[in-house]
């Protein structure tokens, strides 16, 4: 059993690495096709799909990527497999996910497809790779080999923030890596000191990645597993939230608020209908003192009368007209507060 648990933990990190390396499958296929020299044109044309990859070749390529990732990461995750801080349900679900990937199950590859990859333009300040939220929540994993089996677990979308400590050693490595690129790319990336200044800002939470993992693992479990490998490299992580698709339920407080809003909406509809009836049918005033008190109280909820009051311009002899400059000051205050809050939110993905 311990051996199976070790393999499951190994595939935890292999899963993440495979998600990051998944675009490389197309790159390998392209390089393989490009490596084959073009034959000189003869009277018999070669078919267009002569060097195309078959489905079996693509499956074997995916399997080889998983085997390579597992082999390289096994020494790092062996201690994680026997860690008592991870629940058995989480490890078993990850083990089932790894078996699904090796068996080329569609639901298993959806986990890889829904994960966020490191964004393009990272050196230019890009910080978000959100992945596919809806695709992750829609994943349903059957408990058995048959698709009609009872559900074992679902996909869970978690938001992971990764923020490396921009040490001098890391900056030197980045700068030397950039120096190997052509001048055009070096000019595009400019200086890595700009990246350090950006990531050191207290408002920047780090690079935001969308992670899709089984619903049996919590956000706390995800952070613990990632920290096992990130802490030695001085990389800070934070899991802000996780979401799982569940049936919609309402708490007692929510039901009470819904009932209050329904009562308020009924009052608005009743008062507005009553004012229209008094205006067009009886041709009377709603402020008639002879009307019952309850009727006059109900008319205070009229949408028509309240809208008219909101947009009414004060007369020149009233106090409101003399102090109208204060209304302009209030509007300006609202505008600059809204503007400052917009610029204070550095993360462009916050909604």
**Residue extents of the structural domains in the chain:** 2-35+49-244, 253-312, 317-351
| Adjacent-strand bridge partners of 239 | 160
User: What was the pLDDT predicted at 257?
Assistant: 96
113/132 Cα distance (integer angstroms): 8
Predicted local distance difference test score (pLDDT) of residue 345? 63
87, 109 contact by CB (below 8 A): no
pLDDT at 159: 92
C-alpha torsion 338→343→346→351, nearest 10: 30
Q: Do residues 111 and 34 lie in contact, with contact meaning Cβ atoms separated by under 8 Å? A: no
pLDDT of residue 220: 92
Instruction: Record the tokens describing residue 302, joined without a space.
Output: 């009229």
Q: What is the DSSP string of 36-102?
A: SPPPPP-SSPPPTTTTPPPHHHHHHHHHHHHHHHHHHHHHHHHHHHT-TTS-HHHHHHHHHHHHHHH
pTM of the shown model? 0.59
For 230, the enclosing helix (H) or strand (E) is helix 219-230
pLDDT given at position 267: 93
Task: Name the CA radius of gyration of the chain, rounded.
Answer: 31
Per-residue confidence (pLDDT) for residue 236, from 0 to 100: 85
What is each CA distance from 62 to 54, 65, 75, 103, 223, in whole angstroms? 13, 5, 22, 11, 27
Burial of 154 (0-12, 13-18, 19+ CB in 10 A): middle
Compute mean pLDDT per 10 residues along the chain, 351 residues long, and list them. Answer: 45 49 46 44 47 70 73 66 80 84 85 84 73 92 78 92 77 69 60 64 73 92 87 84 88 95 95 88 64 83 86 64 71 86 62 41
- Strand pairing of 140-142 and 151-164? antiparallel
Buried-exposed string 128-138: b where 16+ CB fall within 10 A, e elsewhere: bbebbbebbbe
Could you tell me which residues come within 8 angstroms of residue 235 by beta carbon, excluding any fewer than 6 positions away?
162, 163, 164, 165
What are the structure tokens assigned to 67, written together? 């085997």
Query: Which pLDDT belongs to residue 60?
Result: 77
């Amino acid at each position: 059993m311990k051996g199976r648990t070790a393999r499951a933990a190994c595939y935890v990190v292999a899963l993440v690495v495979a998600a990051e390396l998944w675009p490389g499958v197309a790159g390998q296929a392209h390089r393989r096709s490009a490596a084959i020299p073009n034959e000189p044109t003869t009277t018999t044309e070669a078919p267009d799909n002569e060097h195309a990859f078959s489905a079996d070749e693509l499956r074997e390529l995916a399997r080889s990527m998983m085997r390579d990732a597992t082999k390289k990461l096994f020494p790092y995750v062996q201690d994680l497999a026997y860690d008592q801080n991870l629940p058995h349900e989480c490890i078993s679900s990850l083990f089932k996910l790894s078996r699904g990937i090796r068996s080329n199950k569609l639901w298993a590859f959806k986990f890889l497809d829904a994960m966020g990859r490191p964004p393009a333009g990272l050196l230019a300040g890009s910080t978000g790779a959100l992945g596919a939220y809806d695709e992750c929540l829609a994943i349903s994993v059957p408990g058995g080999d048959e698709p009609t089996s009872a559900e074992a677990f679902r996909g869970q979308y978690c938001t992971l923030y990764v923020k490396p400590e921009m040490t001098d050693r890391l900056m030197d490595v980045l700068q030397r890596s950039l120096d190997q690129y052509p001048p055009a790319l070096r000019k595009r990336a400019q200086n890595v000191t700009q990246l350090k200044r950006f990531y050191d800002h207290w408002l920047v939470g780090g690079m935001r990645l969308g992670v899709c993992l089984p619903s049996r693992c919590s956000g706390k479990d995800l952070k613990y597993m990632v920290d096992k490998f990130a802490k030695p490299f001085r990389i800070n992580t934070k899991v802000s939230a996780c979401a799982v698709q569940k049936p919609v339920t309402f708490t007692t407080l929510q039901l009470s608020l819904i009932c209050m809003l329904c009562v308020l909406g009924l009052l608005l509809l009743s008062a507005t209908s009553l004012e229209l009836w008094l205006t067009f049918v009886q041709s009377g005033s709603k402020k008639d003192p002879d009307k019952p008190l309850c009727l006059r109280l109900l008319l205070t909820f009229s949408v028509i009368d309240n809208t008219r009051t909101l947009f009414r311009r004060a007369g020149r002899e009233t106090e409101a007209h003399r102090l109208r400059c204060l209304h302009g000051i209030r509007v300006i205050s609202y505008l600059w507060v809204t503007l400052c809050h917009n610029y204070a939110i550095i993360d462009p993905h916050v909604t």
